[in-house]
Structure 1
Amino acid sequence: MFTLPETRFDFGGDEYIYAEISRDMSAESNFKALAIVNELRERNIPGIVDIVPSNASYLVRYNPEILSPRDLLDYLKEIDITKSDPAELNLSIRMVEIPTWYDDPVSRQYSERFKNRHQEPTLSNFEFAMKANGFTDKEAFIEAHSRMPNLITMVGFLPGTAWGFPLGLEPGEIIQTPKYLSPRTHTPRQGVGIGGAFTVVYPVNGTGSYQLIGMSAVPVYDADKRLIDLEDTYFLARPGDLWKHRPIDEREYNQIVAEVEQGTYRYHMKQIDFSPQEYVIKGKAYIQELMEGF
């Protein structure tokens, strides 16, 4: 039976415990981190101040005047044992569609504007990503990037930034690109970027070093709370989400942007019961089952 490795725990000063499930990023390690974080939140242990999941680890902040570090470590070790079997990691998560205009004028403009910080200044970021992954056909590259959903493994950096790791693909099928040699001083809000194996949608204007391959038509951060689906939160992303990029053209991009500005846009999403055990056994076939009718 497949089990995950034992977690390594370290104390961080007087208020933190860092739990490292694995050194290398894997979907299975992230499933375990999410399951443990969910369990900790459900237990509502007095003295725990905050819990933050990451790609293959998590961080717990606690108040040492209420909860001793040794008692907290005992809690974490107990939960860790129960969450090392994928059969025990069932998650209730969302699949969310991200309409994306690939190789758009804005991302090309930023490629030109910051070419002096780039490995290959004669190429747009989109062209560079294609070349880095051995593609010569634009549509084939777009299909390869968008055909399977990304698991949101963590949220942070800029408000609402979510890191998406592709599911259901063999290592050789995963789109990967190096980051800029030197970060851009400006990145467009809703720009879609790739860095390593991770895809992000930039929530706000700011710095950035991921290769810009397109623009999301929908916001992932809604400061004005204009949209019904974000009325209880400013952020679209939740750790554990599956985000599916859907390629769109300029006409549909402009149509969706107009709906967002009018406050009438509704995100295409559905709640799903996700079984890490089924994913470990079936891989791509299981993800395709989840996407049926979406």
Structure 2
Amino acid sequence: MTTTALPDQARYSWGADEHLVVQIAEDMSLSAFFRAGAISSRLAERDIDGVLDICPANASLLIRFDPEVLAPADLEAAVREIEADVARQERPSISTRILEIPVWYDDPYTREVGAKFRDRHQRPEGTDLEYGMVELGLSSVDEFIEKHSSTPWMVSMVGFVAGLPFMFQMVDQADYAFELPKYLRPRTETPKLTVGHGGCFACIYSVKGAGGYQMFGVTPLPIFDPSQGHEVFSDSMVLFRPGDIVKFRPVDEAEYRELEAAAERGDDVYRIVPVDFELDEFLADPVAYNTNLLGALHD
């Protein structure tokens, strides 16, 4: 994610008869994501009759509405008014959560699947982890894992597959951020709960299925549960929300198995801590801000 200045006004366009698209900026950035989220939240708070769905994303938001209840011009006027109010906000911030996600890196499941699809990969030899290590100029897989897990990631959108989070790394982009291409051709298989990466985005595959992101490991904790059997899913069958902050924590096989069994029993194994995130403070010194932010997991 970049930190370029935002345009004075968003671009508004229509998708057929029922959708309004608000493009905050051409480039993805924390600032654009924050503005899209703020507009979405304020629009939801107004509870305008005829607005059916509000979907914020990395640098835009999509609004689905019923044109027989809400005139398009009235919707656009309301959103433009909210956009102007949000742009005047002096200290952009959100009340959100930090979620610690355990990851068994270099696991046998993603290694096996990766080996089956090397003909679709940029580097047929080795593993996806080793490819990432080489591409980023690192000296070992352990160094790669440290780079991937030492800093937090922010969920910018959830979807494509039910419950799948897209996350970008909360770092100074010029010095640190991951940037890795997807497979040359998508796989027809990806293990459930694979931690992957494509372009600038990390993700967690909520279900088993096709995919093209590089595969680094697996988490033992479900992130999508239609049955809502575990208490963490009592409010929603989807674990992540836009604005959530994720901290990956490396675990070995023994801890992976232990956490997997505990989650199946319904034990309280999810570490989720509420926090306030201040955009300007983060942009001023990402390293120091992240250190203080992640301290909440150990308080």
TM-score range (shorter-chain normalised) is: over 0.9
Please tell me whether residue 227 in structure 1 is matched to residue 230 in structure 2: yes
2-side partners of 1:73 and 1:270: how far apart? 36
- Extract unaligned runs of 5+ from structure 2: none
Please tell me whether residue 283 in structure 1 is matched to residue 280 in structure 2: no
Please tell me whether residue 156 in structure 1 is matched to residue 130 in structure 2: no
Asked if the contact 1:192/1:214 (under 8 Å) is kept, the reply is: yes
Q: State the partner residue of 1:4.
A: 6
Q: CA deviation at 1:249?
A: 1.0
Q: CA deviation at 1:18?
A: 0.5
Secondary structure of residue in 2 paired with 1:120: coil
Using structure 2 for the length normalisation, give the TM-score.
Answer: 0.94
Please tell me whether residue 246 in structure 1 is matched to residue 219 in structure 2: no
Asked if the contact 2:259/2:269 (under 8 Å) is kept, the reply is: no
Match of 2:26 among 23, 27, 44: 23
Which one-letter code corresponds to 1:144 in the other structure?
Answer: K
Which one-letter code corresponds to 2:163 in the other structure?
Answer: G
1-side partners of 2:231 and 2:90: how far apart? 35
Q: State the partner residue of 2:183.
A: 180
Secondary structure of residue in 2 paired with 1:291: helix
CA RMSD of aligned residues (A): 1.5
Asked if the contact 1:187/1:207 (under 8 Å) is kept, the reply is: yes
2-side partners of 1:270 and 1:150: how far apart? 15
Q: CA deviation at 1:226?
A: 2.7
Match of 1:76 among 65, 76, 79: 79
1-side partners of 2:87 and 2:114: how far apart? 43
Using structure 1 for the length normalisation, give the TM-score.
Answer: 0.95
Change (3 A) 1:264 1:54: same
Which one-letter code corresponds to 1:72 in the other structure?
Answer: L
2-side partners of 1:246 and 1:11: how far apart? 42
Secondary structure of residue in 1 paired with 2:166: strand
2-side partners of 1:126 and 1:69: how far apart? 48
Asked if the contact 1:256/1:265 (under 8 Å) is kept, the reply is: no
1-side partners of 2:5 and 2:168: how far apart? 21
Q: CA deviation at 1:84?
A: 2.1
Q: CA deviation at 1:77?
A: 1.0
Change (3 A) 1:49 1:17: same
Q: State the partner residue of 1:193.
A: 196
Q: CA deviation at 1:119?
A: 1.3
Which shifted more, 214-223 or 157-166? Answer: 214-223
Match of 1:60 among 58, 63, 78: 63
Q: CA deviation at 1:274?
A: 1.5
Secondary structure of residue in 2 paired with 1:255: helix
Q: CA deviation at 1:88?
A: 4.8
Which shifted more, 7-16 or 164-173? Answer: 164-173
How many residue pairs are counted as aligned between the two chains? Answer: 293
Which one-letter code corresponds to 1:35 in the other structure?
Answer: A
Match of 2:50 among 34, 47, 69: 47
Which shifted more, 224-233 or 7-16? Answer: 224-233
2-side partners of 1:144 and 1:126: how far apart? 12
Which shifted more, 233-242 or 270-279? Answer: 270-279
Which shifted more, 256-265 or 206-215? Answer: 256-265
Which one-letter code corresponds to 1:25 in the other structure?
Answer: M
1-side partners of 2:118 and 2:107: how far apart? 17
Q: State the partner residue of 2:138.
A: 135
2-side partners of 1:92 and 1:3: how far apart? 23
**Residue identity (%):** 38
- Extract unaligned runs of 5+ from structure 1: none
